[in-house]
Amino acid sequence: MFGRKKDDQPASPVDERPHREGAKNRPTPKRRDQEAARKRPLVQADRKGAKAADREARRENGRKMREAMVTGDDRHLPPRDKGPVRRFVRDAVDVRWNLGELLLPLMLAVLVLSLFAGTWATYVFLGVYVLILIAIVDVWLLWRRTKPKLLQRFGADTNLRGLAMYLAMRAFQMRRTRMPKPMVERGDTL
């Protein structure tokens, strides 16, 4: 008598809330459902296929990196050589003659001459040590000239950490063995 009749109830509950733009408009998923959706096996089912795909990806990456070392493409260079600051340091070394690049051929010549040792061999060895010291001073002076140019071009907040050693290692390599290959000619201006 005082109750509702069964035909007055709606057939299904209707969400009368308006859908807002940018809102989620759906219930939050349960954590266990999300974790189950993210689960992957630790060991793939096709181990050989995964290993071959990984090997091929590393091979392709290495090929791109070697090609970038020759062409100077900054996208595929290793992190050690990447960026405009490193490029500027490489160019600063490559644009001039360095005494350090003469050391390796000179040391090989001294090694051959030491086979025919005489009293003059001592003077040649001392001369090599003097040349090493002069080359170190030459690299130090090159860094002293390059550092203000770096700060002027790239700003005072430029991270200079490791750049002096990067410059020195490049200066002591023979020009044709430097990687990435030199992109400037000797005598060019920076």
pLDDT tier for residue 178 given thresholds of 50, 70 and 90: very high
User: What's the confidence (pLDDT) of residue 156?
Assistant: 92
* 77 and 111 housed in the same domain: no
Residue 44 one-letter amino acid: Q
* 95 and 173 housed in the same domain: yes
* 111 and 146 housed in the same domain: yes
Note the pLDDT tens digit of each residue in 107-134: 888 888 878 777 777 888 888 899 999 9
Least confident of 66-80, 111-125, 156-170: 111-125
Specify the pTM: 0.71
Q: Does pLDDT of 149 surpass 70?
A: yes
* 128 and 147 housed in the same domain: yes
Average pLDDT value over all residues in the chain: 88
* 95 and 164 housed in the same domain: yes
* 107 and 148 housed in the same domain: yes
Residue 184 lies in a domain: no
* 69 and 130 housed in the same domain: no
* 75 and 99 housed in the same domain: no
Write out the DSSP string of 154-170.
H-TT---TTHHHHHHHH
Q: Does residue 18 have a cis bond before it (omega within 30 degrees)?
A: no
Q: How many domains does the chain have?
A: 2
Q: Give the 3-state secondary structure percentages of the chain, helix then strand then coil, rounded to 5.
A: 60, 0, 40
Instruction: Give me the domain span that covers residue 137.
Output: 84-177
Residue 120 lies in a domain: yes
Residue 116 lies in a domain: yes
* 63 and 136 housed in the same domain: no
User: What's the confidence (pLDDT) of residue 154?
Assistant: 95
How far is Cα 77 from Cα 68, in angstroms, rounded to an integer?
A: 6
Where do we find the tokens 């490559």? 94
Strand ranges, E, within 62-183: none
Q: How many CB atoms lie within 10 A of CB 190?
A: 12
- For 134-141, what is the mean pLDDT? 97
Residue 15 lies in a domain: no
Least confident of 61-75, 82-96, 116-130, 167-181: 116-130
* 137 and 111 housed in the same domain: yes
